[in-house]
Amino acid sequence: MNSEYSADIVIIGGGIAGALMAYELVKANADVLVIEAGDRIDRSKAIAHYMNTPDRNNDTPYDPMSKSAPYPQMMTPDDYYIQTGPDKFQSTYIKALGGTTWHWLGTSLRFVPNDFKMKTAYGVGIDWPLSYDDLEPWYYAAERELPVSGDDTAELGVKRKNPYPSAKIPMTYLDKVVEKAFEDLSLPDAPDIKLKVANTPQGRLSVPDSDAGRLACCGSNNCIPMCPVGAKYDATFTIAKAEKLGARVITNHTATFIQTDEDGNVTGIKLKTAEGEKTVTGKIFILAAHAIETPKLMLMSKSEQYPKGIGNSSDQVGRNLMDHNCVLSYGLTKEPVYPYQAPLSTSGVEIVKDGPFRKQRGAFRIEIGNDGWSWPVGYPDVLATWLMKHSGGRTVNMNSPLNSKIDKAGIRKQLYGSKLRESIQKNVMHEIRFAFLCEQLPDPDNRIVPAFDSLDSFGLPRPKISYKLDNYVKAGIRVAVDTQKKMLDALGCTEQHHSSPWGAGHIVGTTRMGDDPKTSVVDKNLKCHDHKNLFILGSSVFPTVAASNPTLTIAALTLRAVESVQKMLQSMN
Annotated catalytic residues are 506
Rounded Cα gap, residues 488 and 327, in angstroms: 14
Phi, psi of 537, deg, nearest 5: -115, 160
Rounded Cα gap, residues 225 and 382, in angstroms: 17
Rounded Cα gap, residues 543 and 485, in angstroms: 32
Angle at 448 between CA 470 and CA 399, to 5 degrees: 60
| Local structure of 406: helix, strand or coil | helix
Report the sign of the C-alpha dihedral through residues 17, 21, 24, 27, in that order: negative
Element (H, E) at 36: none
List of E strands, 52-211: 82-83, 149-150, 166-167, 186-187, 190-194, 198-199
List of E strands, 207-313: 248-250, 254-260, 266-273, 276-287
Element (H, E) at 125: none
Rounded Cα gap, residues 311 and 72, in angstroms: 25
Q: Which of 182, 220, 180 is nearest to 204 (CA)?
A: 220
Q: Which of 333, 329, 310 is nearest to 368 (CA)?
A: 329
Rounded Cα gap, residues 326 and 198, in angstroms: 19
Element (H, E) at 195: none
Element (H, E) at 449: strand 447-455
Rounded Cα gap, residues 451 and 432, in angstroms: 41
